[in-house]
Amino acid sequence: MENATLGVFERLRNGETIQPNDPEAYKMREASYATKELLIRMNNTSDPAEIRDLLGRITESEIDERTTVFTPLYINYGKNTRIGRNVFINFDCTFLDLGGITIEDNVLIAPKVSLLSEGHPVSPENRQSLVPGPIYIKRNAWIGAHATILPGVTVGENAVVAAGAVVSRDVPDNTVVGGIPAKIIKTI
């Protein structure tokens, strides 16, 4: 049940679908444009400390000094992303985080990975609505190049997502998944 006293960002964090006529829907676009200002600066520097500082401002959290981010990185909101220690994020990744993204310690994220914590209903009459679903990437996981993680997915500890995979269901700990849609290939 929708709680009208909560703001749009709180409702998204609570997993509520946001209708296109929601009186606060405009705030999501405004926040994205504010994030984009910081992203432009972050994506145009080669100084690792400055990248971490700007990413910390985008996510409103401290980014561990052992975390490495190769820009460009694209984020639509930022404040719903949490990044652990000793994380590596390679070039040209996209994070849509209105539904929430948590990346635990020692995670490797290859180039062109998309973490998409929000989507839309399949039915045409409701398609303009925004449906959030948090993404959790657990400790020591490795997300291969050009993989896509969809809303509501947890990637387990020590799991590997093969390059090009589209992950629409949870990935168990200590497994390798691949394909479209991703399926378990083997246990580690």
**How many Cβ atoms from other residues are within 10 Å of residue 45's Cβ?**
13
- Residue 12: inside a domain: yes
pLDDT recorded at residue 6:
84
> Degrees (nearest 5) of the Cα angle 89, 90, 91?
130
pLDDT tens figures, 142-171: 999 999 999 999 999 999 999 999 999 999
Please compute the mean of the pLDDT values over residues 18-30 and round it to a whole number. 94
Q: Which domain holds residue 166?
A: 8-187
- DSSP three-state, residue 31: helix
| Percent of the chain scoring above 70 in pLDDT | 98
- Choice among 9-13, 55-59, 81-85 with the minimum mean pLDDT: 9-13
**For residues 148 and 107, what is the distance between their CA atoms, to the nearest angstrom?**
15
Report the mean per-residue pLDDT for the chain.
Answer: 96
Give me the amino acid identity at 102.
T
pLDDT tens figures, 85-142: 999 999 999 999 999 999 999 999 999 999 999 999 999 999 999 999 999 999 999 9
pLDDT recorded at residue 4:
54
Residue recorded with tokens 């997915």: 153
pLDDT recorded at residue 2:
46
pTM over 0.85: yes
* Whether the predicted pLDDT of 3 surpasses 70: no
| Contact (CB, 8 A) for 96 and 116 | yes
- Residue 37: inside a domain: yes
- Residue 2: inside a domain: no
1 band by pLDDT with thresholds 50, 70 and 90: very low
**For residues 40 and 67, what is the distance between their CA atoms, to the nearest angstrom?**
20
Q: Which residues of 129-163 are buried (b: 16+ CB within 10 A; e: fewer)?
A: bbbbbbbbbbbbbbbbbbbbbbbbbbbbbbbbbbe
**For residues 47 and 53, what is the distance between their CA atoms, to the nearest angstrom?**
10
CATH of the domain at 77: 2.160.10.10
Residue recorded with tokens 């946001």: 18
Ramachandran quadrant class, 3 (left: phi over 0; alpha: psi -120 to 50; beta: rest): beta
**Count of domains forming the chain:** 1
pLDDT tens figures, 37-80: 999 999 999 999 999 999 999 999 999 999 999 999 999 999 99
Main-chain dihedrals φ then ψ at residue 59, nearest 5 degrees: -90, -5
- Residue 87: inside a domain: yes
User: Active-site residues: which are they?
Assistant: 120
- Residue 67: inside a domain: yes
- Residue 1: inside a domain: no
Higher pLDDT, 4 or 186: 186
- Residue 68: inside a domain: yes
- Residue 3: inside a domain: no
Residue 170 has which token pair?
């949870």
